[in-house]
Amino acid sequence: MNPDILGIIMIIIIVIGCCVVLPLMIVWLVNKRKNHEIDKKTEILMLLLEKKPDIDPAEVLNKLNMSQNSDNKSLKQKLLGHLLAGCIYLLVGLVIFFTHLFNMIFLGSKTMGVVGGGVLAAIGIAFIIYYFVSRKMLQGEIEAEERRLTEQQISE
């Protein structure tokens, strides 16, 4: 068989795998995980209702949702995560940018690393700007959340 045809077939298989199969697998796994969580919560609720029929199911479900919530971060933690991501992107982008710029100027190589580094640095700067703007806009909510958390810690 012709090597050019094999190359084209290989490219088609890779594109179909990345653009069709991979997103379908991700959606399937996410839905399977959500269904598993729902089944576990239902099982726990049924066991509790069998042992204590006078329990309020809505209250139990609220406690289950609060304790098993994976995104249980405060606003401040989320903003600090964005700041960290911005700093990492900026640092990696600047390193890539300057190393490829050095290669381009002194060694005469023609690479696209300057563009890639610039894009990563721009993404990092965008994350950092997002952090500072969000921190200023959400200052009241962050303070209220911190007060609520300290009150919960004191009451426990």
Q: Which of 148, 92, 140 is nearest to 118 (CA)?
A: 92
pLDDT at 33: 92
Beta-carbon count within 10 A of 98 CB? 14
Q: Which distant-in-sequence residues (6+ apart) come within 8 Å of 54 by Cβ? A: none
What's the token pair of residue 58?
A: 């809505």
Convert the pLDDT of each residue in 25-41 to its tens digit: 989 999 999 899 889 88
Phi/psi of residue 31, nearest 5 degrees: -65, -40
Report the distance separating Cα 33 and Cα 30, nearest Å.
5
DSSP state of 40: H
Q: What is the pTM of this model?
A: 0.55
Instruction: Give the DSSP H or E segment for 98.
Output: helix 75-102
Mean of the per-residue pLDDT values of the chain: 85
Instruction: Give the pLDDT of residue 145.
Output: 85
Q: With CA atoms as reference, report the closest residue to 36 among 68, 66, 73, 67.
A: 68
| AA identity, residue 23 | P
The pLDDT tens digits for 64-106 are: 776 555 556 778 888 999 999 999 999 999 999 888 888 888 8
Structure token digits, residue 54: 């006078």
- Supply the pLDDT for residue 92: 94
